[in-house]
Amino acid sequence: MSALRQIFLIVIYVIGFVASDVYDYEWNCKDIESDTPLYKLKRYLFCDYDPGIRPGHEAKNTTDISTMIIPQKIVFDEDSATLEINTWLYIEWMDPYLTWKSEDHGDISRINVKSRDVWIPELYSLNTMYGEMTRIPETVCSLLKTGELTCFTPVQYTVSCVSDYTRWPWDLHNCTLQLAAWAYIDEEISFNNRSGIVIDWYEDTEEWVLSVPEISVTREKSKFSKNATFPTFTVSTVLTRIEGPLKSVFITPVIILTVVTLTILWLRPGSPERLMLACFNFLSHLLIIRDVHYKVPNSGSQVPNILIFYTNSFILSFVVLVLTCWLQKILEWKGEVPTWLASKIHVVLTSKVGKILSINVLDPKGSALLEDDADDNSTLVDSQPVNPKWENVVTVMGWFFLFSFGFIYFVMSLALLC
């Protein structure tokens, strides 16, 4: 008895299930003359419509797609070298299956449809961070009587960038967004020449400037078919930093430390002020390099020019400190200056350049270097050169180091700006 009862219940369930399907089919496709024109139009369009079938009667009938990217806001992450793009995505294509005559449907020429109810190009971002392919979110599209479909939806893409920190803090970041319909081949989908990007609505931030993007339509080899390719829509742009405070914090010390280092070489050798300033200059370089090292992001492959400049300047500041101590030690020597060296020092001191350099406000004792030589210029040719003191030798060596370091800093500044 229980077995017959179970068979009876199963038969009733099957009959009810089939009847419900027939009822639903008849309800979806039945003709209701008293309904509104919009309702009848949607029944007319979608009664036998399959959103999984691409518009086109043959495989050679290509669906032409127009894609437009309208960026609104960008956020760049220096640690991961990724760009978050918040944009509006505009897509337009023709669907010959969704056409009607407006006079037959209450003069309706345009309706709104949900994207899940129609065939929509499956565009994915191919070069997003962490391999996540972002697809078009569900939205509401506009359908014209000619079969033209347009969808306008907000999308957020996170793409990886190639960073160039060579001129940091004027660093550059080349970011590329690649959209592709990888599920179709070239014969099925193509991007037309109306595809592009609109940056008129975008406003640059206080930190970054967005360059004019470059647009290209290329083909990528399909992984599903050996000899097939699929179209890709590529947008490349360059971000340039314009933040003022960061530049003033790290560019201003370049000028200050250069001037301080050269000033140390200009001061009179042996003076306590020169030794104290040389120690202060050396410690300042250490602090600046430490700060720059932690500020420069580590996502780039190039070493910033400013870090190279500070490193070289740090080496020069150490050399200046050593030279200051060494020249001060030479001043304490009691022996006579060698004749070959004394003659060359005398020529330098009595030259026009030497006289000008000997008279300066930073070295009040400099003008006294020439007082030991009471002869005028006419007697210098016939007389024997006077052996200058070690103080004169140190002074001339200080001039040599001053001009040498000045030339080195000039070359370093050119390399920093290039």
Distance separating alpha carbons of residues 234 and 194, to the nearest angstrom: 14
Copy the structure tokens of residue 294: 């932690």
Q: Give the pLDDT confidence score for residue 138 in this predicted structure.
A: 84
Does 299 have pLDDT greater than 60?
yes
pLDDT at residue 110 is higher than 80 = yes
Preceding omega of 169 cis (within 30 degrees of 0): yes
Q: Average pLDDT, stretch 257-285?
A: 88
300 vs 298: CA distance, rounded Å: 6
- Copy the structure tokens of residue 43: 């029944």
d(CA 216, CA 38): 40
Q: Mean per-residue pLDDT for 362-387?
A: 44
The whole-number average pLDDT for the span 20-40 is: 55
CB 98 within 8 Å of CB 118 = yes
Span 389-411, pLDDT tens digits = 666 677 777 778 888 899 999 99
Q: How many CA atoms lie within 13 A of 191 on its CB side?
A: 24
Q: Where in the chain is the domain with CATH 2.70.170.10?
A: 37-242
Q: Is the pLDDT of residue 34 over 90?
A: no
Nearest CA among 336, 355, 345, 321 for reference residue 394: 345
- Superfamily in which the 37-242 domain is placed by CATH: Neurotransmitter-gated ion-channel ligand-binding domain (2.70.170.10)
Residue 392, token pair as written in the block: 């004169």
Q: Is 366 helix (H, G, I), strand (E, B) or coil?
A: helix
- The residues that bridge with 135 in the sheet, in sequence order, are 124
Q: What are the structure tokens assigned to 205, written together?
A: 């931030």
Query: Which of 57-61, 190-194, 224-228 is predicted most confidently?
Result: 190-194
Instruction: Dump strand ranges (E) for 139-228.
Output: 140-144, 148-164, 172-180, 189-191, 196-197, 208-210, 214-221
* Digit-coded pLDDT (tens) for 142-161: 999 988 999 988 888 888 88
